[in-house]
Amino acid sequence: MTTRLYHHPICLEHVNSPGHPERPDRLRAIEKAISGDQFNALERLEAPEADPELFMLAHPKRHVKKVESLIPEEGFVRVDADTSACPQSWLAVKRAVGGALAGVDDVFEKRANNVFASVRPPGHHAEKSTAMGFCLINSVAVAARYAQEKYGAERIAIIDFDVHHGNGTQDIFYDDPSVLFASSHQMPLYPGTGALNETGMGNIFNTPLREGDGGSAFKEAYRQRVLPAIDNFAPDLILISAGFDAHHRDPLAGLELVADDFDWVTGKLMELATKHCDNRVVSILEGGYDLEGLAESAAAHINRLMVG
C-alpha cells in the first residue's frame, strides 16, 4: 500500500500574530514525529501550487478575490477576531490546496492508495463567502469539487474529526446530496454549529460529543452513526478533515481522545474505502494545537494509512 505525504516550506511562512495557537511549529512537530524508520516507505513530495481559479469550485469568485486582496505587503492583517494573514499567506494557501488536489490526482490515477497533506493554513471553517476560524480557503471542499469535475466522482464522503465543527464544509455542501459530510466534534464549542438536526438534504451527519468524552464515546458515535452512513452512501472517494485537537492535551477544547483513537478511526475509514472506492483516501490537516498531542496523533494517523 503506497502512501504519499505532501508538504511545502512556504506553509511554515504563513504566520499569525504572536501567541496564536495556529503556528508553524505544528508542521515541524509532525515532521519530527514521522522521522523514524517506520516511516521510511512514506513517499514525501512538495505540494504543487494550485491555480486560484480552482478555488472557485467551492467559493464564489468575489470571495476568492477578496481574500487575495486582503494579503498585506508587510505585517499582519486581521480577517476576523481570530484569523489573520501575512505576506506569505496566499502562497501558503495555494500550496495547501495544491497538496489536497495532488492527493486527489494520485488516488484516482493510482499513484498512491492514500495521501496525507501536511499543510497549513487549515480550511474547514471557511464557508462559501466567509473566511474564519484560522481558515481562508476550504481545501477539502475544493478537493471534493475537483474530484467531481476532473474524475466524474458521483459520491464523495468528507469525514471531519476535528474537535471543532466543520461549519464551512457543511455550508458549502448543505444542499448537495452528492457529498456526504460527517462531523464529530465537541458541542457546545466554537463555531456553535453542528447540531444533530442540521441534516441538509439528508447528507449531513453531525455527531456532537460532550466535554469530557473520550475514546469510548467517540468510537460509539462512529459505530452507531458515522460509519453506517458512509457505508450506505458507498462513496467513490473518502476525504478526511484531519484535526487532532480532540486529543486530551489540546488547550482549545475538552475531549479526551488519545493517539490510538485516531489510529482506530483511520482504520475504520480505510476499511470502507477498500469496500467502496478502491482504497481512495485523501486526508488534509486541520487543527491540533498541543504540539505533543498533535505529533503523536498525526503519526498514528499516517502510520495507519501506510499499513492499512
Q: What is the pLDDT of residues 8-43, one digit of tens each?
A: 999 999 999 889 999 999 999 999 999 999 999 999
Q: Is 71 helix (H, G, I), strand (E, B) or coil?
A: coil
Give kind and range of the element (H or E) at residue 285: strand 281-285
pTM score, whole prediction: 0.98
Least confident range of 12-21, 29-38, 52-61, 136-145? 12-21
How far lies 106's CA from each of 110, 162, 277, 295, in Å? 6, 24, 14, 25
| Per-residue pLDDT, 90 | 98
Say how far apart CA 129 and CA 109 lie, in whole Å.
Answer: 32
In Å, how far are 5, 151, 305 from 1, measured between CA atoms?
Answer: 13, 22, 8
* CATH, domain 3-307, list 3.40.50.300, 3.40.800.20, 1.10.10.10, 1.20.1090.10: 3.40.800.20
Q: Is 185 helix (H, G, I), strand (E, B) or coil?
A: strand
| Bridge partner residues of 7 (DSSP) | 46
Residue 125 annotated among the catalytic residues of the structure? yes
Mean pLDDT of 76-95: 95
Upstream peptide bond of 121 is cis (omega within 30 degrees of 0): yes
**What is the per-residue pLDDT for 294?**
98
Q: Find the mean pLDDT for residues 77-105.
A: 96
- Calpha distance 134→16 (Å, rounded): 9
Q: Are 167 and 246 in contact (CB under 8 A)?
A: no
**Peptide bond preceding 235 in cis form (omega within 30 of 0):** no
Would you call 83 helix, strand, or coil by DSSP? strand
Q: Tell me whether the omega of the peptide bond preceding residue 188 falls within 30 degrees of 0, making it cis.
A: yes
Q: What is the mean pLDDT of the chain?
A: 97
Q: Which of 7, 59, 125, 165 is catalytic?
A: 125
Q: Give the residue from 273, 192, 193, 256 showing the smallest Cα distance to 219.
A: 256
User: Looking at per-residue confidence, does 81 or 259 come out higher?
Assistant: 259
Place of cell 489510529: 263
Residue 18: predicted pLDDT: 86
Report residue 230 as a C-alpha cell: 458512509
